[in-house]
Structure 1
């Protein structure tokens, strides 16, 4: 009997601990978001006061020094001249950040209970608070800070913003902010995407019009080309220092680092299987990696090629794509995509092996090291010079 009680008590303890951990994490996130919202509004107040409705500021650093001194007297540490400059810069870099519209009715100070539905027997505490008395109190405290942020940046923490503010190019900064929020990226993942020049690599696969759209909406995937980047950076596989590695080694390393590989490949991709066998009588063929793209609603077949791409590689992928289109994909799914990840691209072979208007088979280079930003910038300049 005592063992049963102990067992039950252990289960109860785990449940309570889980609830407390969840509540603690929720409070930390709420506090962090509250600080972000508050800083943005402080920055806006400073900028609007300095400029007074004009294009250029009428008040210089003296205003921030005065504010720093007075705020420190009233609220303690945390309002140095340098901090206030950063808060002001935060607003300047993200001027349209919160949604101050009628749709944003929820206060950021909403309680945990307010996020759950009321029970059938009665109302939650948050539901009961909708009395006339609380409405009166609420109307008196109509601070803009109570407006919740738009979905555009709701997943970004204060640390995300500190990092993003180091990016000078506004288009690039907006892209990384939108992408990190939309995919709920951690700060570590955001830094990795920036360090591997995700923005530049996506730009290399797009035209000028699409590049401008990226700064507004992030990576929007409507067609196969939208999901591709060039090159793919696989530095996390740890193969750079090896003098020799085979295609099997490359595949095994990808499977061992599948989560990181999926992050590098981009949003929407789901792993299906490796070494998919296709059999015709006594002949067997193997597709290195099979994925499914939930946005494009199609299978994505990947073959890994060490060395320079050949027309035989393309022909083999064409067979795999045709097989999936005719034997595997369902009628409501889109055509299969074939991606050849090669060590060295061959534009001539691709151009004259594949038919004009091809939108199913693509080849991209992979790198086992982080490409330099200078190298990518030169490729960008070369690309857009050709398009002019």
Structure 2
């Protein structure tokens, strides 16, 4: 029986490997075909053969001809997608064939070239499916970090403002407690880790810290293996106050003393609140401690204009606070 199981497992692995190889090959060929079609359409535009009238009508006629010959996969909408795909990735060698055509259709809608490349790499590094990619583009994942990315990881690159927790699906007509939000985040841990960003691993909820004089409970503890440090998260359902900042400062110092290992970097503390008083932020330890952060969070996806405004306000505020650094 053991020999039979071994034979089955070996054959199953051969079949699985062959199917994966076939899928990769087919996917690569399809991506190249769509890229070539997009290239031909764009080059035809540039050569001016339809200079005056080239546009929807011409593409519609082309789609009609291709549809009769090859089926509905080459309708006007798909041809537009191929055109956008080529314009987004005009160099074939820049295309990573690990991703699907749907990934590239979504990425091609991103306006900035650098962000398109970043989303492509994030999809590969983090194995984002197309639903995750779509959600991250919609919530402006890259724009919500406090500082531009660089070659050297630093805490601000890993902190967002605001955080978007629409995936919790909490009823909008209910007042939620910190405990209920925390429980919902744990129940949606995969989505929560994705929203936290790259390199986060969950460590504990309500971690109990004992000192000589008191007991303390930290809401959420993570470890970021890029920053090589612990990240403490404290949830607040109201406006940020002095006591919240002082508490997190104490937690971070305590964690550095009691939990941090010699090869770990200093612990980061993030206070998540629904509102921030910028005066309190400016004149508190947050202004001088590079390892303490306060970020807003939203339980529901804001309208695009509101989200853009929130991001821009916090980016300007962060740059003003750090312009002398």
TM-score (norm 1): 0.70
Q: CA deviation at 1:41?
A: 3.0
Q: Which residue of 1 aligns with 2:323?
A: none
Correspondence 1:180-259 to 2 at 5 A: 180-202=123-145, 205-206=146-147, 210=148, 222-241=153-172, 243-259=174-190
Secondary structure, aligned partner of 1:292: strand
Q: Which residue of 2 aligns with 1:28?
A: 23
Judged with a 3 Å threshold, the aligned counterparts in structure 2 of structure 1 residues 376 and 64 are, in CA distance, closer, same or farther, namely closer
Q: Deviations over 1:108-146 (max 9, x none)?
A: xxxxxxxxxxxxxxxxxxxxxxxxxxxxxxxxxxxxxxx
Q: Is the 8 A contact 2:27 2:97 kept in 1?
A: no
Bigger Rg, which one: 1
Q: Is the 8 A contact 1:300 1:337 kept in 2?
A: yes
Matched, 1:369 2:300: yes
- The 1-side partners of 2:230 and 2:285 are apart by 19
Q: CA deviation at 1:331?
A: 2.5
* Equivalent residue for 1:76, pick from 66, 70, 82: 70
Which moves more between the two structures, 90-99 or 223-232? 90-99
Q: Is the 8 A contact 1:343 1:365 kept in 2?
A: yes
Matched, 1:39 2:38: no
Q: Deviations over 1:73-99 (max 9, x none)?
A: 8x7335556644443332112113425
Q: Deviations over 1:141-184 (max 9, x none)?
A: xxxxxxxx5xxx34321011122333445555444334323322
Q: CA deviation at 1:60?
A: 4.2
Judged with a 3 Å threshold, the aligned counterparts in structure 2 of structure 1 residues 384 and 311 are, in CA distance, closer, same or farther, namely closer
Q: CA deviation at 1:200?
A: 3.5
Q: Which residue of 2 aligns with 1:301?
A: 232
Q: CA deviation at 1:296?
A: 0.6
Secondary structure, aligned partner of 1:320: helix
TM-score (norm 2): 0.82
Q: Which residue of 1 aligns with 2:248?
A: 317
Secondary structure, aligned partner of 2:98: coil
Q: Note the residue ranges of structure 1 that are not aligned, 5 or more in a row.
A: 100-148
Matched, 1:270 2:201: yes
> How many pairs align?
316
Q: Note the residue ranges of structure 2 that are not aligned, 5 or more in a row.
A: 321-325
- The 2-side partners of 1:224 and 1:180 are apart by 22
Q: Deviations over 1:255-300 (max 9, x none)?
A: 2111111001001011112222121235211111111111111111
Aligned-pair Cα RMSD in Å: 3.3
